[in-house]
A and B are shown apart, each in its own frame.
Chain A
Amino acid sequence: MNHKYEVLIIGGGVVGCAIARELSKYRVSAALLEKEMDVGMGASCRNSGVLHAGFKYAPGSLRARVAVKGNALMDDLCRDLKVKIKRIGKLTVGLDEEDEPTLRHLKEQGDTNGVPGLRVIGREEMQKIQPGVEGYIALHSPSSSIISPYSLTIGLAENALANGVNFHLGQRVESISQQPEKGWHVRTAAGEIFEAQVIINAAGLYSADVSRMAGVDGYTIYPCRGEYYVLDKRLNGTLTALIYPAPKKNAPGWGTHLTPTVDGNILIGPTAQYIKEPENHACTPDILRRLRIEGQKLLPAIQVSDYIRNFAGIRAKQTPPEVGGNKDFVIEDRKDVKGFINLVGLESPGLTASPAIAQMVVEMVGNHLSLVPDPSFNPVRPGSSDFFSELSAEEKADLVAKDPNYGEIICRCEKITKKEILDAINNPLGARTIVSLKYRARASMGRCQGGFCIPRIVRLLRDEFGWRPEDFLKRGVDSPLFVGNVRPEGGQA
């Protein structure tokens, strides 16, 4: 099948979705291709869920610019898209006098980058922000925040879709060619052809491959895996700010740290380990053990029963293991290859920067097409950023009176209602996997990890939508939940 668009975005991570949403403000025909069965299946939803302030990046770098600007754009964006965000701020803590110059340097750097409200504070003030924290001195960055990476990525995609961008899920790009006068031909593994005048490479871990397919060599992505633990909500409220150790010279990252999530869990991690396979999201015994030991040191209240899950995300690094560190983002409107906007190596702070990157990219699209604002653009996504369980008893009662499906709890740990499950299944993108449901409705993200709710969700989807056992997939077509019926349906017992 042939599809024709003016602009084609390759990759449905948070950056691709932000570009789609930014483009949807204009009268332009655009589509997004995603190889997975939903958006946000890669690093976009496998991270700490932190918005960075932007003091860590070298002044004048692209990373510094888009991080600071992206962070500043988030309040309005989250309000419109119904995305949970908490401006809890961050303490970068120095343990002794030796750390002071580092922190002072970070403050200066941040000031130069335009980071708002940075202050170097002492022990007393630090402990007012986070009771119990131990340190000599700290850099407080009030714009450091936590956010729901799931809601942000999905919200951007849904709003883009509502404003006219098409989403083609399950379309893995196989080859790209440019034909004189006709523009780009993008062929997918499913055998479909997408024609476009401008293509945007937002393929994350595969950005170097897509770049090469479009005729731009010279980039390499080195996948670098980070492992995490997720802690039980029992510890919710323990952390009132983000706490990071002051960076040490020659250390690869920030070291293990704890991050509260907007949904009330705490994450331990991430680690950094270069791997060969770009999609091997395995967690490994030695790293898990190390995370448990270091997590315990940072938060002695952690009990064995608080570890409810582990997961991994993979960074798209441009620096090989022997070099380490980071290279600046590549965001380029290639002059040598007309109509190819190339984004390579958007690792952290990609989530934070996504709305600013989207603005930059759309400006570049304007070099190729005339962009006319669409007066019918609606920035607001319907719904609520709060789950039913987060409402007051009175608000809950109102909803239950309006729709009895709110009165039926399907996921007992997270107290997710049948209505929320139905809404998630009826999502506008048409994503239908168990992970899609989880990212939208939080079902199975609690302490029983779906032992209770997955059988109930299966029953619900079978009874209300006629799903057969083979229709249930975890993430993709290669991850069926079941092999079929035990006995033929409708037979005698």
Chain B
Amino acid sequence: MSIKTIHRDVVVIGGGPAGLAAAIAASEAGCKDVLLIERDRILGGILNQCIHDGFGLHEFKEALSGPEYAARFINRLPGLGIEVMTGTIVLSLSPERILEVSTRGAIQYIQAGAVVLAMGCRERTRGAISIPGQRPSGVYTAGAAQNFINMENIMVGKNVCILGSGDIGLIMARRMTLEGAHVEAVFEILPYSSGLPRNIQQCLNDYNIPLFLNTTVTEIRGNGRLEGVKVAQVGKDRAPIPETERYIPCDTLLLSVGLIPENELTRDAGVAMDPITGGALVDDTFMTSVPGIFSCGNVLHVHDLADWVSVEARDAGRFAAAYVHEKREASRQRITIKEGDGVRYVLPQSVSGERDFILSLRVTAPWRNRAVVVRSGDKKVRRKKIVRLHPAEMIRINIGKDALAAAGGSSLEVSVE
């Protein structure tokens, strides 16, 4: 059977917070031919299962639940005439921006003028971190458990240990407790929490759930259902200290041990990747190394707040629309940006110098009263004092093009001082 090819100006892949904001921004920037593709039956992505509040504090100056936050965007789509394909998965993406998509009833090709990658991220699994032991049922990633409880009305267990203090794990500690489960503790291999301080307070401290830092699960036990886990403190090298090992009976282990940008399509398209973020290398328009392919949200780098995803995706959507209309090529002149001391990653990894931009970064360890400094050679471009720096929190700093021009040079380094 021959396969139909359709054309669209801007195609956004993923209908979560990033894709929704990008599609709306592309449309508002004047693109009349925007297609939003979502693999689930409904739009909203992971927001649909995030029934806790705290979304929208920056975007809407009020605390919304995930579904409410998503609805603010979804409700605007019809008025803007944005085309939506749900229940549709992109099977492949070529560097020429041809998408092979599968939907109920048809496989088709879509030739896109510009593509915005907004596929989000997935959870790191037990296998990925090689937790030793048997393979009973009752071991879930925190997000999967959240899906079962909040979307499917299914309770995953009664006596719970949680490995990893990522935000979803913290949220689930509270959620499981509210639904009558006993949450024994949260264990974190790092010397500090991976989740936001506000979640430590509201999800653990308020419910008397202990958080053990420098501690990990060393063995999973149970032939059928999970029977218990062994936990141990870890040394500086993160290796378990055998004398500290103890056994905790439980029927459920939730894992909140990190998120991985979902970049399989990105790699298909030959996009150059950043090994630290796990996402694409982008410029100050969020364009990747492949012209006309843009990336934003958690597929680009894992964010701490959905609100920042929306802010970033709006820029990406706007620039994607501009790419189609102005046939703008990537600027020749590039200023690269590198991580310096105390900085785990920076984004974008290169800029044109033609416009102001926002530098996103994460630090490597928690500190108080430090400054993030952006330098071009020995010239200071920007210095921002920050009272509390934490690896769990993204830092966003405005950089003006004038300051950049004044400093000159072809590369920037960002460090904590």
Contacts and interface: CB of A to CB of B under 8 A. Distances in A.
Interface of A: 230, 234, 279-285, 288, 292, 305, 307-311, 389, 393-394, 396-398, 400-401, 404-405, 407-409, 412-413, 415, 434, 447-452, 454-455, 458-459, 462, 469, 473-487, 489
Given A283-B133, A451-B123, A394 B128 contact: no
Nearest to A477: B224
Interface in B82-120: 87, 89, 91, 100, 102-107
Contact of A484 (B135, B144, B155): B155
B152 interface: yes
A486 B125 contact: no
Interface residues of B, number: 55
Given A408-B87, A409-B89, A486-B179, 11 more contacts: A283-B132, A393-B3, A397-B2, A404-B105, A407-B107, A409-B91, A451-B141, A473-B137, A474-B137, A477-B224, A481-B138
23 contacts: A282-B133, A285-B218, A311-B135, A389-B91, A394-B1, A394-B3, A396-B102, A396-B107, A397-B1, A397-B106, A401-B1, A409-B102, A473-B137, A474-B224, A477-B224, A478-B223, A478-B224, A479-B137, A479-B223, A480-B224, A481-B138, A484-B155, A485-B154
A234 B155 CA distance: 35
Contact of B223 (A279, A288, A409, A462): A279
Contact of A487 (B102, B103, B127, B153): B153
Given A308-B127, A404-B105, A407-B104, A452 B122 contact: yes
B137 to A, nearest CB: 4
Contacts of B147: 455
Given A307-B127, A451-B122, A479-B225, A404 B104 contact: yes
A280 B134 contact: yes
B348 interface: no
Contacts of B143: 451
B152 A305 contact: no
A483 B107 CA distance: 39
Contacts of B102: 396, 400, 407-409
Interface in B241-286: 251, 260, 264, 267, 278
Contacts of B154: 458, 469, 482, 484-486
B398 to A, nearest CB: 33
B155 A469 contact: yes
Nearest to B181: A483
8 closest Cβ contacts across the A-B interface? A478-B224, A309-B127, A474-B137, A479-B224, A397-B107, A449-B125, A479-B137, A455-B147
Contact of A480 (B132, B151, B225): B225
Nearest to B108: A397
A115 to B, nearest CB: 36
Contacts of B371: none
Contacts of A454: 144
Contact of A459 (B141, B152, B179, B260): B152
Contacts of A450: 144
B39 interface: yes
B1 A398 contact: yes
Contacts of A407: 102-107
Contacts of A489: 153
B369 interface: no
A451 B127 contact: no
B157 interface: yes
A481 B137 contact: yes
B34 interface: no
A415 B90 CA distance: 10
Interface centre among B103, B133, B138, B153 (most CB of A within 10 A): B153
Interface centre among B91, B135, B251 (most CB of A within 10 A): B135
B215 to A, nearest CB: 16
Contacts of B2: 394, 397
Interface string B133-169: 1111110010110011101111111100000000000
B126 interface: yes
Contacts of A305: 128, 260, 278
Contacts of B225: 478-480
Contacts of B223: 279-280, 478-479
B77 to A, nearest CB: 22
Nearest to A489: B153
Contacts of B75: none
A450 B135 CA distance: 14
A480 B103 CA distance: 33
A236 to B, nearest CB: 12
A470 to B, nearest CB: 10
Given A308-B128, A458-B152, A486-B153, A393 B137 contact: no
A477 B264 CA distance: 36
A397 B158 CA distance: 45
B331 interface: no
Contacts of B264: 413
A285 to B, nearest CB: 5
B242 to A, nearest CB: 10
A305 B138 CA distance: 24
Nearest to B137: A474
B151 A455 contact: yes
A237 to B, nearest CB: 14
Nearest to B147: A455
Contacts of A474: 136-137, 224
A158 B353 CA distance: 65
A163 B219 CA distance: 45
Contacts of A412: 39, 89
Nearest to A478: B224
A397 B130 contact: no
A452 B39 CA distance: 11
Contact of B127 (A230, A280, A394, A434): A230
B158 A483 contact: yes
Contacts of A279: 223
A400 B91 contact: no
Given A483-B157, A484-B155, A485-B154, A400 B105 contact: yes
Contacts of A393: 3, 100, 107
A266 B232 CA distance: 31
A475 B122 CA distance: 25
Contact of B155 (A396, A477, A482): A482
Contacts of A459: 151-152
A281 B152 CA distance: 31
Given A397-B1, A480-B225, A282 B134 contact: yes
